[in-house]
Chain A
C-alpha cells in the first residue's frame, strides 16, 4: 500500500470504474424514444403547415374575381377582402369573450385561493374544471335554445335602450339573439375554466412571506391581494388568458350553431349584421364547396393557424418572463 496517490487514481479510473457499459441499452432506448416523440410533434406541425400552404396556394394565386362569394361566376372580391371580415369576426368574438372571462376568471380564482373556506373552494374548483369537460356542441345548443332567446328578450334591449349611444350597443336588436354578444358570452363561459385554473394555481403559489409582509404593514385582505398576490400572479394570469384566447379563436361548433352571420365589418353586438369567424365559416361552407372554394376555405384555415401560432408564442414569451 505504498503506492503514490496519483497511481491510485490512474488505476481506479483505468480499471475499477470501467464497467464496459458506458452506453447502456436502456439509456439508449429511452433517449431514442423521447427524441422520436419530440420529432413526431415537429413533423406533424410541419406537415399541417405544409398541407395548408399547399392546398391554399391555388386560392392565393388565382385571379381575385374567382375568389369569395360569387367567385364561380367571376364576380368574386378576391381573397383578402373575403378573409378580412372573417379575421375581424374571429378576433372580435375572442376579444369580447376575453374581456368578459378574464375579470370573472381572476375574481373566481381569488375567491377560491384567498377568500373561500377550504371545503367550498375545493368544490368550486371541481365545478369550474367540469365546465371544461362539456363538449362545445352542447354549449352551442345551450346558447341557441336557452341563452340567446333569454338575453334577446331581457338583457340586450335594456343595454340598447339605455346605453345605445355607445356604438357597441346601437342598432336593431336581433329578436332571435343569435348575435355577436351571445357568441361572446358562450365563448367566455368556455374559456373561463382554463383562465380560472391557471390564475388559481399562481395565486396559491404566492410566497407566504410576501403575504405576511403586506399584512404586517396593516393591509386589509384586499390590499394584501393588491400588493402581494396580483403582482406575483400577473404573468400567470396573462398566459392563462392567452391560452383561453387560443381556444376562443379556434372554437367552431358553438359559433357555427349560434351566430347568424353576414359578410361585414361591424362592432355592433346585438344586430343581425355579424361577421363570421374563420372556424365557423369553414364548418358551415365546407359541405357545399367544390374546387377553388375548398382551396379558399383552406387558405382561411392557414390564416387562423398563423394567428393561433402567434398567440401561443406570445403566451410562452410572457410566461417565461415571469418573476420567480
Chain B
C-alpha cells in the first residue's frame, strides 16, 4: 500500500494492457453508523473469472459487494475498516479518490436503471463522456457499437439507437446497463443480483453474457439463485449471519463445484441444499 503505486494506478489508462486484476480483501469490517454489517472478511478473488456471493437475505453480501468499488459510501454513515486491494493497491488508501475507483470497477444493479431521459446510444456513452468530454462522432459510434455488441444487444437495437433507453424490455434494459458499464473499459465488473428482476429468457441472455465477459473482466456477482451461481461461477463464497443485529460473516469460499457438492461447513451444506435461507 504505497502511495507511488496509487498514483500509477490512477493515472494509467489501462487500454490494451491485459493486466490480471486480482482482488485481495483482508480483515474487512463494514459499518453503518455503529452497526457492524460485515465482520472480518478475508477473500481472494481470481482475475478473469466469475466469483459468486451467495447467502440468505440480510447477510451483507450486497454490502460487501458495494464495498469493492466504494459504492456503499453513498449511504450516510457507512464506513470501512480493513483493506481491499487490487494488484496490491489499497482502494481505501488515504490518497485514493473513490470516483476513480468506480471508473475502474464498474457495477450493474439489481433493477435495470438506464437514464430515462437519454437515448440508447447516450446511455452507453454516459460514463465515457465523464472521462472524455469531447468525443468525436465516429469515435462515439465505435464505442456504442462495441459495447452493445459485447453485451449482446447490438442486433436488437442497432436500428433505433436514438430511441429512449426506457422503452426497451427489462432484459434489454439490463443488458444496456451492462453495455454502459463496460463502455468505460473497467477492470472489474460487480453485479448485484443482475437477473432478479428479469424473466428466464433474459436471465439466460445475461448469464451467457457473463461467460463471455469473464474473458476480459474479473466478475463478482451476488445472487439468490443457486443454480445461477452453479452455472456461471468458478468460485463461490457463502455468507451467513447468526441472527438479526449480528454482523454477516464469510463462512466458506471454495471452487463452485466443491461448495455445491462437498462443502466443509455444515451451514453451507444446509444452505445449498435448501434446508434454510
- Interface range on chain A (Cβ under 8 Å from partner): 20 to 34
Residues of the B chain whose Cβ atoms lie less than 8 Å from the Cβ of A223:
130
The answer to whether B126 and A217 have CB atoms under 8 Å apart is: yes
Tell whether A74 is near chain B: CB-to-CB under 8 Å.
Answer: no
Residues of the A chain whose Cβ atoms lie less than 8 Å from the Cβ of B104:
218
The answer to whether B117 and A323 have CB atoms under 8 Å apart is: yes
The answer to whether B107 and A216 have CB atoms under 8 Å apart is: yes
How many A-B residue pairs have C-beta atoms within 8 angstroms? Tell me.
Answer: 69
Tell whether A232 is near chain B: CB-to-CB under 8 Å.
Answer: yes
Residues of the A chain whose Cβ atoms lie less than 8 Å from the Cβ of B126:
214, 217, 227
Residues of the B chain whose Cβ atoms lie less than 8 Å from the Cβ of A210:
113, 115-116
The answer to whether A219 and B74 have CB atoms under 8 Å apart is: no
Tell whether A47 is near chain B: CB-to-CB under 8 Å.
Answer: no
Given A209-B111, A212-B74, A213-B109, A218:B127 Cβ within 8 A: yes
Residues of the A chain whose Cβ atoms lie less than 8 Å from the Cβ of B213:
none
The answer to whether B127 and A231 have CB atoms under 8 Å apart is: no
Which partner residue on chain A sits nearest B69 by CB separation? A216
Tell whether B99 is near chain A: CB-to-CB under 8 Å.
Answer: yes
- By secondary structure, the B interface counts as helix
Least Cβ distance of B135 to chain A in Å? 14
Residues of the B chain whose Cβ atoms lie less than 8 Å from the Cβ of A70:
none
The answer to whether B71 and A217 have CB atoms under 8 Å apart is: no
Tell whether B26 is near chain A: CB-to-CB under 8 Å.
Answer: no
The answer to whether A219 and B106 have CB atoms under 8 Å apart is: no
Which partner residue on chain B sits nearest A221 by CB separation? B99
Chain B, residues 101-136, CB within 8 Å of chain A (1/0): the string is 111101101010111111000000011001100000
Least Cβ distance of A96 to chain B in Å? 30
Which partner residue on chain B sits nearest A209 by CB separation? B113
Tell whether A207 is near chain B: CB-to-CB under 8 Å.
Answer: yes
Tell whether B181 is near chain A: CB-to-CB under 8 Å.
Answer: yes
Which partner residue on chain B sits nearest A220 by CB separation? B99
The answer to whether A209 and B181 have CB atoms under 8 Å apart is: no
Tell whether A228 is near chain B: CB-to-CB under 8 Å.
Answer: yes
Residues of the B chain whose Cβ atoms lie less than 8 Å from the Cβ of A212:
71, 74, 109, 113
Tell whether A215 is near chain B: CB-to-CB under 8 Å.
Answer: yes
Tell whether B184 is near chain A: CB-to-CB under 8 Å.
Answer: yes
Chain A, residues 11-35, CB within 8 Å of chain B (1/0): the string is 0000000000000000000000000
The answer to whether A216 and B181 have CB atoms under 8 Å apart is: yes
Given A212-B74, A212-B109, A217:B181 Cβ within 8 A: yes
Query: When chains A and B are docked, how far (Å) is the Cα of A223 from the Cα of B116?
Result: 16
Which partner residue on chain A sits nearest B102 by CB separation? A218
Which partner residue on chain B sits nearest A228 by CB separation? B115
Least Cβ distance of A238 to chain B in Å? 14
Chain A, residues 229-273, CB within 8 Å of chain B (1/0): the string is 001101000000000000000000000000000000000000000
The answer to whether A227 and B115 have CB atoms under 8 Å apart is: yes
The answer to whether B103 and A215 have CB atoms under 8 Å apart is: no
Least Cβ distance of A288 to chain B in Å? 54
The answer to whether A217 and B130 have CB atoms under 8 Å apart is: yes
Tell whether B148 is near chain A: CB-to-CB under 8 Å.
Answer: no
Which partner residue on chain B sits nearest A235 by CB separation? B117
Least Cβ distance of A222 to chain B in Å? 11
Tell whether B177 is near chain A: CB-to-CB under 8 Å.
Answer: yes
Given A209-B111, A227-B115, A228-B115, A217:B74 Cβ within 8 A: no
Pick from A216, A217, A232: contact of B116, CB under 8 Å: A232
Least Cβ distance of B207 to chain A in Å? 21
Query: When chains A and B are docked, how far (Å) is the Cα of A155 from the Cα of B152?
Result: 61
Residues of the A chain whose Cβ atoms lie less than 8 Å from the Cβ of B107:
216
Query: When chains A and B are docked, how far (Å) is the Cα of A156 from the Cα of B45?
Result: 65
Residues of the B chain whose Cβ atoms lie less than 8 Å from the Cβ of A324:
116
Given A212-B74, A223-B130, A217:B109 Cβ within 8 A: no
The answer to whether B118 and A231 have CB atoms under 8 Å apart is: yes
Residues of the B chain whose Cβ atoms lie less than 8 Å from the Cβ of A217:
102-103, 106, 126-127, 130, 180-181, 184
Give me the interface of A with B, judged by CB distance under 8 Å.
207, 209-220, 223, 227-228, 231-232, 234, 323-324
Q: Kindly list the 7 A-B residue pairs having the minimum CB-CB distance in the complex, ordered from nearest.
A: A218-B103, A217-B127, A209-B113, A216-B107, A231-B117, A218-B102, A213-B113
A-B contacts besides A217-B180, A227-B115, 16 pairs, CB < 8 Å? A207-B113, A209-B109, A209-B111, A210-B115, A212-B74, A213-B113, A213-B115, A216-B106, A216-B181, A217-B103, A217-B126, A217-B184, A218-B127, A220-B99, A232-B117, A323-B117
Q: Can you show 24 pairs from A to B with CB atoms below 8 A apart?
A: A207-B113, A209-B111, A212-B113, A213-B177, A215-B74, A216-B69, A216-B71, A216-B109, A216-B181, A217-B103, A217-B130, A217-B181, A218-B100, A218-B101, A218-B103, A218-B104, A218-B130, A218-B184, A220-B99, A227-B126, A231-B115, A231-B117, A231-B118, A234-B117
